[in-house]
Structure 1
Amino acid sequence: MGYDPMFAVRRAAEAVAEAAKDVAGGHAAWDRPTDAVNSLEQMEKLTVALADLLRQQADALPGLTADPQAGDAAKLVSEAAATAAKLVEQIRKAGGTARSVR
C-alpha cells in the first residue's frame, strides 16, 4: 500500500489558499496578461488533478467501510468530481480568451 494522499492534498490546499490571500491582500499580483494566462494554465492542471482525485476517492470510499452511508457519500463525491470537470472546461475557455489579451 502507498501513502495517504491527504497530506499532499493538504499542502496543495494550503499553498493555493495562501496565494489567494496574498493576492487579495495586495502582497502578490500579476504583472502582465501573460502571467495571468500562465496562472490559469496552472489552475487548469490543478483542477484536472482535483477532478481525478475526487473520482478515485468516490470509487474507493465504499470499500473503506461497511457503513451503509458510504454509497451515498461516494455518490456526492462523484458529483463533486463532475463539477470539478466542468470547472476545468470553464478555465480552458477563460485561458483561450485570455491568450488573446495583450
Structure 2
Amino acid sequence: MNSMNEEMTRRFVDALLAKGEQYVQEAEERIATLKETLADEERDLVILIENLAQLKAKTAGVGEPREEADESDDKKQDEENEDSDGSEEDTTPGMRKRSNSC
C-alpha cells in the first residue's frame, strides 16, 4: 500500500514538473518575442527622432516675422488705401468704403 502511494506521488510530481517546464518554456518564448518587438520599436523610434530633427532643421526660422517684409507690406497697404486726394479710406472688412468727398 505504501509503495502504491509513493508511485502515485512520484507520477503526480513528475506531471507537475513537466507542466512547470512547459510553462517556463512558453514564458521564455514570449520573452524572446517581446524583446524582438521592443528592439523593432526602438529602431522605429530612433528613425522618428532623426526625422523630427531633420524637419526641425529644415523649418528653422520659418514663420518668424521678418521686419523688412512687414515694413514694405505696410507701405504697400498704405499706398493702396490712399484716395486721389491723398486721404485714406476706411477698408474695414464687411464695411463699404467711404470717401471724404462731399
Under TM normalisation by the shorter chain, which class is it?
0.3 to 0.5
Structure number with the higher helix fraction is 1
Which gives a bigger RCO, structure 1 or 2 (Cα 8 Å, sep 6+)? 1
Q: TM-score, normalised by structure 1?
A: 0.33
Query: Over alpha carbons, which structure has the higher Rg?
Result: 2
